[in-house]
Amino acid sequence: MIRENSIKLSTSYAVASKVRDYSQLMKFNLTIMVVFSSVVGYLLVPNVGFDLVKVLILFAGGLLVSGSANTINQLLEKETDKLMARTAVRPLPAGRMSETEAIILAVVTGVSGVAILAWGFNLLCAGLSLLSLVLYGFVYTPWKKWNSLAVLVGAVPGALPLLIGWAGGANAIGDGGWALFAIQFLWQFPHFWAIAWIGHKDYSRAGFKLLPASGEPNKLIALQAVLYTLLLIPAGIMPYYLKISGPISAIIVLLVTLFFVYRAVNLYRKADVPAARKLMFGSYIYLMIMQFALLFDKVEHF
């Protein structure tokens, strides 16, 4: 009896460990945020109401595609991940998972995710998801070692989730889709640079070039972050101008954008890691409030 219980406990532990490793490989926490953006983009399409089945299909497909892209990212960065304290404990660099297993996971999740989106929505939605996977996994990931333009390249797949959701609901891109894409595209720059500022030593040790100009944290980078947050002011008004959302959301988005600008200005003033960390958390706050505001103040078209 004791032996049987020990075997059951060992099996349960092994299964839990494997699930945890898969979750780390697919960056589950980050993936949830990405998929949520897709759902928001879908629900903002005029005449699209809340359909639990559709939302779950979009959630599942997006989760698999994003997880595949993150797995490819870690496959290509296995050796560099060993050099950074934050990533050395991941399944591949730590040796808890073979590259073959990770490749199989990336292929299965990527193919099934794109297929689910094509079946549940349309080919445009699936095609944009595939584009996002390719750009993130095979273009942005290696580019990080070449030069800081990687942030520009990475901003495209980073901004695609809202557009993917919009395409899923509208079967087209249109002005509304591009407006949502523009907001999240501009958001990427201060967000990325704040993260790169905080982890500069680790990233430099691994050979990643994520900060522009000299590649060192400085006030010029902080000034660029300020400029991008300022560009979010007119970008944030576009959903109201295009009658996607109402005036209340326009005011809320403007206020949270000014908060984001303030955090960027604070980084310019202080030019230190604590200010960069505040900007990073500010970027998450901005994204969450912006998306919720647009969604809850959506203009209904009859």
Contact between residue 255 and residue 261 where contact means Cβ atoms under 8 Å apart: no
Contact between residue 102 and residue 92 where contact means Cβ atoms under 8 Å apart: yes
Q: Return the structure tokens found at 146.
A: 């070449």
Taking the C-alpha atoms of residue 224 and residue 208, their distance in angstroms, rounded to an integer, is 20
Q: Residues 128, 129, 135, CA angle at the centre, nearest 5°?
A: 85
Identify the pLDDT of residue 207.
82
Contact between residue 42 and residue 48 where contact means Cβ atoms under 8 Å apart: yes
Contacts of 122 (CB under 8 A, 6+ apart): 167, 168, 171
Beta strand spans in 206-274 (E):
none
Q: Return the structure tokens found at 136.
A: 């993130």
Q: Return the structure tokens found at 28.
A: 């589950």
Residue-wise pLDDT for 173-209, tens only, equals 999 999 999 999 999 999 999 999 999 888 888 888 8
How would you label 71-105 residue by residue, b for 16+ Cβ within 10 Å and e otherwise?
A: bbbbbbbeebbebbeebeebbbbeebbeeebbeeb
Task: Burial-class residue 68 by CB neighbours within 10 Å (0-12, 13-18, 19+).
Answer: buried
Q: Which of 18, 40, 35 is nearest to 69 (CA)?
A: 35
Taking the C-alpha atoms of residue 27 and residue 236, their distance in angstroms, rounded to an integer, is 28
> Any bridge partners for residue 298, and if so which?
245
Q: Which of 257, 196, 268 is nearest to 230 (CA)?
A: 257
Identify the residue whose tokens are 């959903």.
239
> Which residues, given as ranges, of the chain have pLDDT below 70?
1-15, 214, 301-302
Identify the pLDDT of residue 24.
84
Residue-wise pLDDT for 10-53, tens only, equals 566 566 777 888 888 888 888 888 899 999 999 999 989 889 99
Torsion sign, CA atoms 209, 68, 176, 45: negative
Taking the C-alpha atoms of residue 86 and residue 199, their distance in angstroms, rounded to an integer, is 9
Taking the C-alpha atoms of residue 209 and residue 33, their distance in angstroms, rounded to an integer, is 25
DSSP structure class, residue 90? S
Q: How many CB atoms are located within 10 Å of the residue 260 CB? A: 29
Q: Which of 297, 301, 284 is nearest to 37 (CA)?
A: 284
